[in-house]
Amino acid sequence: MLDHFSAGSGNTAWIGSITWFLLHVLAPLANCLCRRYTFRLVSLVGGIMVGCGYFLSGFVTRIELMYLTFTIIGIGYSLSYVSSVIIISFYFKQRRTLANGVMVSAGGVSALTFPSLYRFLIDKYGLSQAFWVIGAFVSNICVASCLFREPNKPPQSNNAEARIEESISDENQKKCCNALKLKFNLLKNSRFTLLVMAFTICSFGHITNYILIPAHIKTLGYSNTYITIGVSIIGGGELIGRIAVGWFADLNIIQKKYIFVVCMFIGGVFALISPLFGTFTFMAVYAGVVAAFPASFLALISVLAIERVGMENFPAAFSIIFVFMSISSLVSQPIAGWMADYYGSWYPAFILTGITLICSGVILLLEPVVIRYGMGKTYPLENVDNELASRVNEAYVHDRKEGNLNKTDKVDETHLPK
């Protein structure tokens, strides 16, 4: 599209940034709609919008109109992606990280195969008709959405712990679509706040790489074939890295936050040393490294958030994370493009990418310091309101009085209101 519209790197980068921004910022809306209707229906509508957006892009002759069509695509991707990520966490408990890794690795499969397909379609049919074929292909999201199975509501139980979970779930269901209100008071939880900051900064570097790698390969003087190979390497790295990180995280050998930190440091170091090299070989290695390590953070978002706020607050927490990530999604690629236009090189953008990735890891390393000095607090009952807490307390007292509790029932009374 850079060659087709001749609008400059920064302006062309807005197309991708709009898509990323909408995918993230509309997470609360997608979450709300999933609760109000069904995961299946929301994802289905998203697939229709993505297909229509690509189809309409085939008629566009000005880059300004391309911003509009990719707005439709971004909304559709948000509805489909958010519903998929949230629903997968309801299906798995023991291997949740691996399940998320497998799910997000699908992006690696597309990045591995689509560049060659795009190159073939553009060379054979031109950009406009290529959009039509792509639109028909991605419309298969609708078919996949029809296979979604809605999470089952847990059966009624006399067990006090089960009643706690059911009460929380019912209350969240009622309040979910209350004027699209987010539980921003979750940010009073200092551990969750640090996580949001880390993911926001990390996503800046992660998304920037999608424009840095192909654009820099081109400035080095290599042909479109090499660009296609570079993007395909990204896809292969994401496919392997996300599944591998998910599998390793579920082994519980080290804390998942340290896996995130190591991945960010590896990617950051490679980005910082990139100005020392000017060959396709290094860029191929760089593409594989940043795809296998920093890009794997998508497999860790759900489990790290659940560790800090609990499963009952996960949909709201996921929406908050994506809202903040939308900020970096919007500005990352244009900033990289403008830096390239100003300096005449992509190397400054590589340096900025490396700094952001390393900073995101450092932020999570500060967690013990924040907790030690009492900056904020965690929520013992995962941020339920007083009314719900009272209902939970009543259910527990009733079960204890009726003799329904046994030695295997573990309910921490200190977490209940007095």
Of 216, 367, 222, the C-alpha closest to 290 is: 216
Q: Say how far apart CA 373 and CA 375 lie, in whole Å.
A: 6
Q: Residue 181: pLDDT above 50?
A: yes
The predicted pLDDT at position 188 comes to: 84
pLDDT band at 242 (very low <50, low <70, confident <90, very high): confident
**DSSP helix, strand, coil percent of the chain (3-state; round to 5):** 80, 0, 20
Mean pLDDT (whole number) for 157-183: 50
364 neighbors 236 (Cβ within 8 angstroms): no
pLDDT band at 11 (very low <50, low <70, confident <90, very high): low
Phi first, then psi: what are they for 347, rounded to 5°?
A: -60, -40
Q: Say how far apart CA 388 and CA 129 lie, in whole Å.
A: 55
The predicted pLDDT at position 112 comes to: 74
The residue that leads in pLDDT, 413 or 159, is 159
> 42 exposed, middle or buried (CB, 10 Å; 0-12, 13-18, 19+)?
buried
Question: What's the whole-number average pLDDT of the chain?
Answer: 79
Q: Residue 143: pLDDT above 70?
A: yes
Provide the whole-model pTM. 0.69
396 neighbors 416 (Cβ within 8 angstroms): yes
The predicted pLDDT at position 86 comes to: 83
Q: Say how far apart CA 338 and CA 126 lie, in whole Å.
A: 27
The predicted pLDDT at position 1 comes to: 61
Q: Say how far apart CA 154 and CA 148 lie, in whole Å.
A: 18
Q: Between 3.40.47.10, 3.30.310.50, 1.10.3720.10, 1.20.1250.20, what CATH number should domain 2-150+182-372 receive?
A: 1.20.1250.20
The residue that leads in pLDDT, 373 or 248, is 248
pLDDT digits 0-9 by tens, 16-51: 778 878 888 888 888 888 888 889 999 999 999 999
Q: Angle at Cα 326 formed by Cα 206 and Cα 217, nearest 5°?
A: 30
The predicted pLDDT at position 407 comes to: 41
336 neighbors 13 (Cβ within 8 angstroms): yes
pLDDT digits 0-9 by tens, 279-337: 999 999 999 999 899 888 888 888 899 888 888 888 888 888 988 988 888 888 888 88
Q: Residue 187: pLDDT above 70?
A: yes
The predicted pLDDT at position 371 comes to: 77
121 neighbors 228 (Cβ within 8 angstroms): no
The predicted pLDDT at position 4 comes to: 59
Q: Residue 167: pLDDT above 60?
A: no
310 neighbors 89 (Cβ within 8 angstroms): no
Of 301, 326, 315, 325, the C-alpha closest to 30 is: 315
Range with the poorest average pLDDT among 1-5, 236-240, 409-413: 409-413
Helices (H), 251-313: 256-273, 280-292, 301-309
Percent of the chain residues topping a pLDDT of 90: 26
293 neighbors 241 (Cβ within 8 angstroms): yes
The predicted pLDDT at position 196 comes to: 93
Report which residue type is found at 5: F
User: How far is CA 99 from each of CA 87, 123, 162, rounded to the nearest angstrom?
Assistant: 11, 37, 25
- Which stretch, 161-175, 305-319, 339-353, has highest mean pLDDT? 339-353
Q: Say how far apart CA 82 and CA 166 lie, in whole Å.
A: 23
Range with the poorest average pLDDT among 113-127, 142-156, 203-217, 265-279: 142-156
Q: Residue 396: pLDDT above 60?
A: no
The predicted pLDDT at position 49 comes to: 95
pLDDT band at 270 (very low <50, low <70, confident <90, very high): very high
Q: Residue 157: pLDDT above 60?
A: no
Mean pLDDT (whole number) for 389-408: 45
Residue 343's contacts (CB-CB under 8 Å, 6 or more residues apart) are none
Mean pLDDT (whole number) for 91-104: 80
Residue ranges covered by each domain of the chain: 2-150+182-372
Q: Residue 409: pLDDT above 50?
A: no
- Which stretch, 5-14, 190-199, 220-229, 393-402, has highest mean pLDDT? 190-199
The residue that leads in pLDDT, 407 or 235, is 235
The predicted pLDDT at position 368 comes to: 85
3 neighbors 335 (Cβ within 8 angstroms): no
